[in-house]
Structure 1
Amino acid sequence: MTLAAEIDHNGTSPEKLLAPVLSAFWDQPESWTLETYRRHEGYEGLRKALAMSPDDLIAYVKDSGLRGRGGAGFPTGMKWQFIPQGDGKPHYLVVNADESEPGTCKDIPLLFANPHSLIEGIVIACYAIRSSHAFIYLRGEVVPVLRRLHEAVREAYEAGYLGTNVLGSGLDLELTVHAGAGAYICGEETALLDSLEGRRGQPRLRPPFPAVAGLYACPTVVNNVESIASVPAILNRGKDWFKSMGSEKSPGFTLYSLSGHVTSPGQYEAPLGITLRQLLEMSGGIRAGHRLKFWTPGGSSTPMFTDEHLDVPLDYEGVGAAGSMLGTKALQCFDETTCVVRAVTRWTEFYAHESCGKCTPCREGTYWLVQLLRDIEAGKGQMADLDKLNDIADNINGKSFCALGDGAASPIFSSLKYFREEYEQHITGKGCPFDPAKSTAWADDKNIDGKNAHRGVNA
């Protein structure tokens, strides 16, 4: 039985599905301080972790079923387990806070409102993998978050959660906050490591994988902010509590970033497996007088869905079975006033601009996708261009050096699958059918006035 069917059967209100853990006290005064964090059982999970052996701790996190919240969904405990022990090399933990996927906005609010959850998770993870130095690679543009994170690290050092002999455990841990230079490619873990070492951010050839030869050619774990920040609650409340939420293969809670043409966009922390229909019920639905046209389940690099997919369980298996990826749970919602061709063109321009240029399929492919899409959007395209789009995307997908190319191809494939007719209208109509100068089709709904509908196209 799906989560949606279960709710209908039991008559449970959608609001009761929310599971505020990471976001439990974001709205409290000075939520980012150590004092506030301690009032909410902060660093209690660390004390319990330090009472275990590192190997038992890794097994505990592995048994909890926690999966990486950065997009791929790889089991966190298994990632820690890959670190070789007794090799005589330094071990490193690197936290990927270079959040830059279009539509993704969960890690930055988390760091701004509750940075100590990440710091506590870092100490636990470093104890588990026997690391004495951790790094937070933060997106450099978010200066307010950088300042708040530096202050939280200072508080943690002062309280004895970082530094020499953490809480009398014998663990010595140094934590470095590094501000990145603003390249999207640095969200890819090996490009991040190169950037952290002072080189140009470009993905590395694998193997060797970071677990064997990562930062400074030493064993390294690279985890997302939310993945690490979720660990303290698991230790404090227990793995069974964590597994009681979500689904069997995708347990626990997570942050869903709801944005776009919705009444109340924002962060909704809920168990994995909730549906977009339920999240829209909580957020007031699509803006008044409009209807959902298409949406992304995990940011612009994941294949788009339509209103037919409102009841797809938002966990790794459910979204995958429906033909997309859960990714970073960036739920961008677009109503019927949005031109699909325009949206896909803007996304593809982003990927072309952010391509590092290391591999030919991505470097050349994204460039030519942009040229074709711009012509189609402007009414200068031909029907043969649609097959060219598909062919170029196919030559990028699975053939580029890293996942950026795959992400650039996803909107092309999915938009042609669900909205090919709209592409054809741009070609036969010599321009965008949503442009009021070309057509009044965008204002057919009597509940939509022309002025607001047109503004929606350009929103």
Structure 2
Amino acid sequence: MNAVATAAAGTPRRLYVPRDVAALAVGADTVATALAAGAKRRGVPVEIVRTGSRGLFWLEPLVECDGPAGRLGFGPVTPEAVESLLDAGLLEAGEGAVSHALALGPVEDLPYLRAQQRLTFARMGVVDPRSIADYAAHDGWTGLRRALALAPAEIVTEVLESGLRGRGGAAFPTGVKWQTVAQAPLRPAGSGPAPRRYVVCNADEGDSGTFSDRMVMEGDPFMLIEGMAIAGLAVGATQGYVYIRSEYPHAIATMTEAIRQATAAGWLGEDVGGSGRAFHLEVRKAAGSYVCGEETALLESLEGRRGLVRAKPPLPALVGLFGQPTLVNNVISFAAVPMILARGAAFYRDFGVGRSRGTLPFQLAGNVRRGGLVELAFGVTLRQLVEDFGGGTASGRPVKAVQVGGPLGAYLPPSQWDVPIDYEEYTAIGAVVGHGGIVVHDDTANLAGLARYAMEFCAIESCGKCTPCRIGSTRGVEVIDRIAASAQAHSRDGQVALLRDLCDTMLHGSLCAMGGMTPYPVLSALDHYPEDFGLPAAATGPAGAPAGARPEQTGARPGQTV
């Protein structure tokens, strides 16, 4: 009996269509509707599973079907292409290959995926993100089950020994932070809530060119829940919050539903996994401010106040949400934890180089031919990511500059594209790894204009609490405009010196990384692309980290937390 006959007898054919917002933006919902309608006309029962995205964005909507040896992929599928796909035998794909221009073959064999080291993103695009049963069937809850059999200190030790560092950008050792929160004493409640420890997930992903947090929440939300529950057990917290940026309505909806299912299944609530230990989790919608990604501004927002940066010390690990010890980590930091507990610290630590252990989901964006997510161990080079995975620019023109680490990251010239990506190597050249965002610019880009944008962005997004950030960024825009307008070389030189002095003030005097990191794109543009400022190449300044840069200003950004 052929596949169609089997389907007609009552066994539905299974098709997979992403529900990730990147796929929705290019018509995934319409494609899913067209597939269902086409199958109905042919009298073939079909089950359409809405998954997350594999992260191959140039192929979205990527439609998959079960094949003889794994899933077969087709993309990018438009609604107009659905009929020809069905005519070519999409619903009979279980019996063999489908001959069609959009046929990609087995998805797992695509070079873009095969060359990756997917640990955190192993289930992405595979499971139904709104099915707790599907998550469990793909090794879900394995890490949490092991954590329930360990003492809190043993969980912390496992995370410490894995070498995991904050994936939001600051790269602080995750296990050290967990240990600090676990050992911090509770404080008198005063007029606030009863004393207890908190776990907060910073999902206020505001960096341009980044989307890994969103992909996790939309494509594998139970993994984040599992990681946060393990963290709660480790530090003795009974309440957690996922602080999601307001511009992510699909992530908010998916996380809310996943939390509901996890609570109903007993993985959250008063009796986590039957252990007698409690951990509750709630979603909180962010305030729409970039600076609320800075952990103390985030806590202010969670408490119902305007998102202003707090002075440190005290650290949130000691005095955080409602004045209590609070663990604040980024989405990817929490998402890495279930794997570490399930496979052991040594397994995770075996990936990476130097002090940068494990993998990082790099996000390719901007003027790039094959934009998407690439999870690899630390040590890969920017050239490999942009050229081998990204395929160069979408425009076909030469790559001129690549910004790594978000809108406040440095612009890297071709001479630095072969530096292995790890936190210490990038700090040494005056760059930041940040959240793993990579934005590509071709040779038509004007770096003076991009440097001006960095100052303008800071001026718009600054919380206004400290003068170097609030006023310095405004003056920075004015100085760059004067450099562009200067007809005399001596006048330009004076303005360049003023710009460097202003950047030094912002770097050393800002209260947080919002003002402290704005000099990175400005100075890197000035140092590596002086001709865009009307300066001779001989005017290039020294490369490397700005003198006296504090550690938190060479990795973290205000829109992310470690």
Q: TM-score, normalised by structure 1?
A: 0.86
Q: Which residue among 128, 135, 157 is the counterpart of 1:59? A: 157
Residue equivalent to 2:525: 415
Q: CA deviation at 1:170?
A: 1.4
- In 2, are the aligned partners of 1:25 and 1:31 still within 8 Å (CA)? no
Q: Does 1:175 align with 2:285?
A: no
Residue equivalent to 2:353: 247
Instruction: Specify the SS of the correspondent of 2:317.
Output: helix
2:389 counterpart letter in structure 1: M
Q: Does 1:115 align with 2:213?
A: no
Q: Which residue among 453, 458, 461 is the counterpart of 1:351? A: 458
Distance 1:125 1:392, change over 3 A: same
Instruction: Specify the SS of the correspondent of 1:256.
Output: strand
- In 1, are the aligned partners of 2:205 and 2:293 still within 8 Å (CA)? yes
Query: Percentage identity across aligned positions?
Result: 39
2:147 counterpart letter in structure 1: A
Q: Does 1:39 align with 2:146?
A: no
The within-5 A match list for 1:187-198 is: 187-198=293-304
Residue equivalent to 2:443: 336
Q: Does 1:233 align with 2:339?
A: yes
1:338 and 1:119 map into 2 onto residues whose CA distance is 41
1:67 counterpart letter in structure 2: R
Instruction: Specify the SS of the correspondent of 1:398.
Output: helix
Distance 1:114 1:15, change over 3 A: closer
2:172 and 2:324 map into 1 onto residues whose CA distance is 21
* CA deviation string 1:28-71 (max 9, x = no partner): 36244322211210011100011000001101110110000000
* CA deviation string 1:376-433 (max 9, x = no partner): 456789513222221211111121111111121111111111112220169xxxxxxx
Q: CA deviation at 1:22?
A: 2.5
Q: CA deviation at 1:114?
A: 0.9
Q: Which residue among 363, 370, 382 is the counterpart of 2:477? A: 370
- Asked which structure has the greater CA Rg, the reply is 2
Residue equivalent to 1:199: 305
1:141 and 1:150 map into 2 onto residues whose CA distance is 15
Unmatched runs of 5 consecutive residues or more in structure 1? 1-12, 427-459
2:392 and 2:158 map into 1 onto residues whose CA distance is 39
Instruction: Specify the SS of the correspondent of 1:257.
Output: strand
- In 2, are the aligned partners of 1:107 and 1:226 still within 8 Å (CA)? yes
Instruction: Specify the SS of the correspondent of 1:293.
Output: strand
Higher strand share: 2
Q: Does 1:282 align with 2:389?
A: yes
Question: Which runs of structure 1 show a deviation greater than 4 angstroms over 4 or more consecutive aligned residues?
Answer: 13-17, 375-382
Which one is further off, 125-134 or 110-119? 110-119
Q: CA deviation at 1:223?
A: 0.4
Q: Which residue among 291, 305, 326 is the counterpart of 2:433? A: 326
1:195 and 1:20 map into 2 onto residues whose CA distance is 34
Distance 1:147 1:15, change over 3 A: closer
Residue equivalent to 1:222: 328
Instruction: Specify the SS of the correspondent of 2:281.
Output: strand
2:167 counterpart letter in structure 1: R
- In 2, are the aligned partners of 1:15 and 1:282 still within 8 Å (CA)? no
1:380 and 1:36 map into 2 onto residues whose CA distance is 65
Distance 1:367 1:28, change over 3 A: same
Q: Does 1:300 align with 2:410?
A: no
Q: CA deviation at 1:207?
A: 1.4
- In 1, are the aligned partners of 2:448 and 2:526 still within 8 Å (CA)? no
The within-5 A match list for 1:361-400 is: 361-377=468-484, 382-383=491-492, 384-400=494-510
* CA deviation string 1:183-213 (max 9, x = no partner): 1111111111111001111111111111111
**Considering only aligned residues, what root-mean-square deviation do their CA atoms show, in Å?**
1.9
Distance 1:14 1:248, change over 3 A: farther
1:352 and 1:388 map into 2 onto residues whose CA distance is 18
Residue equivalent to 2:237: 131
Residue equivalent to 1:7: none
- In 2, are the aligned partners of 1:294 and 1:304 still within 8 Å (CA)? yes
* CA deviation string 1:136-156 (max 9, x = no partner): 111012111111110011110
- In 1, are the aligned partners of 2:241 and 2:281 still within 8 Å (CA)? yes
2:269 and 2:259 map into 1 onto residues whose CA distance is 10
Aligned length: 414
Q: CA deviation at 1:132?
A: 0.4
- In 2, are the aligned partners of 1:294 and 1:307 still within 8 Å (CA)? yes
Q: TM-score, normalised by structure 2?
A: 0.71
2:274 counterpart letter in structure 1: G
2:176 and 2:414 map into 1 onto residues whose CA distance is 36
Residue equivalent to 2:511: 401
Instruction: Specify the SS of the correspondent of 2:243.
Output: strand
Unmatched runs of 5 consecutive residues or more in structure 2? 1-110, 187-194, 537-562
